[in-house]
C-alpha cells in the first residue's frame, strides 16, 4: 500500500504568500512531495501563477490578469499583503516555478484557471512550457473546466490529467473513465472510503483538497488517499511520517 503523499496547496501558503516563489521554496523545505499552483494568461499571452482572475486580493495592484501585460504584473508587490517580511515578492511566471522545482524530486499539479475566463490556447501554452523544461513525467494538469481536460486528453494523451470538482458525485470513477482522466481532485468533505476504494479498483488516483484539519488528514490517510492537498504540508508530514 503506497504512502499518502503531500501536496502543498499554492505552496506552503499557510506561512508564506500563496503562489509565490517564497511559498514554493518553503514547500520544498517542508518535505512536500508535490506542489499545487494556479495559472492564468496575461494580455500578451504569458503564463503567470496566481489563483484569482484579478490581481486585487494578492497584490498591491488592481485589474484582471487578462487585461494586464506581464511587464505590468511584474511591477506588483505580491508579498506585502501577507506580511511585511515578504515585501517585494512578485507574481511568478510558470517558467520561474518550473525552473525552481526542476532540480528537485517534486511533482507539480498545475491547475488551469480557465473556468471563468476562457483563455485562448491556454492548454497548448502550458504544455509547451512543461515540455520545454522536460517535466511532463512530473506534472499533473487539473481543472474545473472539464472541456479543457478533454481537449488536453486529445492534444497530449500521455500527460496525467485530474478532474477537480466540489460536488458529491455518484460513482465518480465512471465519470473519470468517460472523461479520460487519470485522477480526481474532489473537495474533501465529499470524499468517502467507498469513493477512494471504487476509484482505486479502476486505477483512478484520488487527491482531496484543501485539507488543513488534523482529524480530516488522519481520516483520508486511513482511507488510502493517494495524496492530500493542504496549506500545511509540514503538519501533514508529521502524520504521514518520513
In the block, residue with C-alpha cell 485562448 = 120
d(CA 222, CA 193): 9
If we measure between CA atoms, which residue out of 170, 117, 169 comes closest to residue 148? 117
Task: Choose, from 51, 146, 151, 200, the residue flagged as catalytic.
Answer: 51
Kindly give the confidence (pLDDT) of every residue in the chain, 242 residues in length, as a single tens digit, with 9 standing for 90 and above: 689 999 999 999 999 999 999 999 999 999 999 999 999 999 999 999 999 999 999 999 999 999 999 999 999 999 999 999 999 999 999 999 999 999 999 999 999 999 999 999 999 999 999 999 999 999 999 999 999 999 999 999 999 999 999 999 999 999 999 999 999 999 999 999 999 999 999 999 999 999 999 999 999 999 999 999 999 999 999 999 88
Q: What is the pLDDT of residues 22-55, one digit of tens each?
A: 999 999 999 999 999 999 999 999 999 999 999 9
Please confirm, yes or no, whether 147 is among the known catalytic residues.
no
* Residue 117 forms part of a structural domain: yes
Please confirm, yes or no, whether 51 is among the known catalytic residues.
yes
d(CA 229, CA 45): 28
**Cell reading at 55:** 490581481
- CATH number for 123: 3.20.20.190
If we measure between CA atoms, which residue out of 161, 102, 106, 163 comes closest to residue 133? 102
State the burial class of residue 222 (Cβ atoms within 10 Å of its Cβ: 0-12, 13-18, 19+).
exposed
* Residue 60 forms part of a structural domain: no
Number of domains in the chain: 1
CB 42 within 8 A of CB 53: no
What is the residue range of 213's domain? Answer: 5-40+106-240
* Residue 96 forms part of a structural domain: no
* Residue 65 forms part of a structural domain: no
Bridge partners (DSSP) of residue 165 are 186
Number of H helices, E strands in the chain: 9, 9
Task: Choose, from 9, 40, 185, 234, the residue flagged as catalytic.
Answer: 9
Amino acid at each position: 500500500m503506497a504512502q499518502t503523499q503531500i501536496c502543498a496547496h499554492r505552496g506552503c501558503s499557510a506561512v508564506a504568500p500563496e503562489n509565490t516563489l517564497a511559498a514554493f521554496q518553503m514547500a520544498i523545505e517542508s518535505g512536500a512531495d508535490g506542489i499545487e499552483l494556479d495559472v492564468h494568461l496575461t494580455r500578451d499571452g504569458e503564463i503567470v501563477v496566481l489563483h484569482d482572475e484579478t490581481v486585487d486580493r494578492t497584490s498591491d495592484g488592481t485589474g484582471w490578469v487578462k487585461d494586464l501585460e506581464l511587464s505590468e504584473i511584474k511591477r506588483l508587490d505580491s508579498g506585502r499583503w501577507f506580511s511585511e517580511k515578504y515585501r517585494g515578492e512578485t507574481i511568478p511566471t510558470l517558467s520561474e516555478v518550473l525552473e525552481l522545482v526542476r532540480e528537485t524530486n517534486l511533482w507539480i499539479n498545475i491547475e488551469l484557471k480557465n473556468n471563468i475566463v476562457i483563455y485562448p490556447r491556454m492548454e497548448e501554452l502550458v504544455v509547451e512550457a512543461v515540455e520545454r523544461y522536460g517535466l511532463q513525467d512530473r506534472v499533473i494538469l487539473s481543472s474545473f473546466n472539464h472541456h479543457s481536460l478533454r481537449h488536453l486528453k486529445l492534444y497530449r494523451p500521455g500527460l496525467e490529467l485530474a478532474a477537480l470538482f466540489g460536488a458529491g458525485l455518484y460513482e465518480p470513477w465512471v465519470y473519470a473513465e468517460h472523461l479520460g482522466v487519470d485522477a480526481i481532485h474532489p473537495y474533501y468533505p465529499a470524499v468517502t472510503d467507498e469513493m477512494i476504494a471504487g476509484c482505486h479498483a479502476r486505477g483512478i488516483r484520488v487527491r482531496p483538497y484543501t485539507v488543513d484539519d488534523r482529524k480530516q488528514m488522519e481520516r483520508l490517510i486511513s482511507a488510502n488517499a493517494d495524496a492530500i492537498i493542504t496549506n500545511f504540508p509540514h503538519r501533514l508530514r508529521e502524520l504521514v511520517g518520513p
